[in-house]
């Protein structure tokens, strides 16, 4: 597509309003400006002053976005898609054990469970010192 008025903004708008986003190429006399404009494209791949060379380099991830689909194959990203990533937590210090507080252990205490959890959230996430202190007192009250 030839961009009307040779406008970078119009170019980005035209590319991004497309329903598909597998790959894109931008051809320009100024490769640095082409890269700057191309980085704004919502596509899975980009080439500047070339076409489809990213498909030929098998160590690069291949894939798109929007109606072109999400996900990648090839490259490290493609290998990761075949893996099960998960978090595993293990007590590492023998005499320090993680335990679930009684109000939220199974079966959950219907009266104290919710206020205990709310107080725990206040303690960890409230930005004010007053809110954190209120959380501590709530934990003590509902323990």
**Global model pTM greater than 0.75:** no
DSSP 27-77: --S-HHHHHHHHTTS-SSEEEESSSSHHHH-TTS-B--EETT-S--BSHHH
Look at residue 132 and give its three-state secondary structure. Answer: helix
pLDDT tens digits along 22-48:
888 888 888 899 999 999 999 888 989
pLDDT at residue 84 greater than cutoff 60 = no
pLDDT band for position 16 (cuts 50, 70, 90): very high
pLDDT tens digits along 49-74:
888 777 777 777 778 888 887 667 77
CA 137 vs. chain centroid, Å, equals 35
Integer-rounded Cα radius of gyration of the chain: 26
pLDDT (0 to 100) of residue 38: 92
Dist. CA 112–CA 104, nearest whole Å = 8
Q: How many Cβ atoms are within 10 Å of 15's Cβ, its own excluded?
A: 20
Q: Which of 96, 94, 143, 85 is nearest to 119 (CA)?
A: 143
Decide if 47 contacts 53 (C-beta within 8 A): yes
pLDDT tens digits along 117-128:
999 999 999 999
pLDDT at residue 83 greater than cutoff 70 = no
């Amino acid at each position: 597509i030839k961009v009307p008025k040779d406008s970078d903004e119009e170019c980005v708008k035209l590319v991004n309003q497309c329903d598909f986003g597998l790959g894109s190429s931008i051809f320009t006399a100024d490769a640095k400006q082409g890269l700057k404009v191309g980085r704004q494209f919502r596509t899975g791949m980009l080439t500047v002053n070339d076409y489809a060379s990213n498909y030929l380099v098998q160590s690069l991830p291949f894939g798109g976005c929007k109606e072109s689909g999400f996900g990648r194959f090839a490259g490290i990203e493609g290998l990761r898609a075949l893996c099960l990533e998960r978090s595993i937590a293990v007590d590492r210090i023998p005499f320090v054990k993680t335990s679930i507080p009684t109000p939220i252990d199974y079966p959950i205490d219907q009266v104290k469970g919710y206020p205990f959890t709310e107080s725990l959230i206040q303690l960890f996430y409230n930005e004010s010192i007053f809110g954190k202190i209120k959380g501590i007192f709530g934990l003590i009250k509902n323990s």
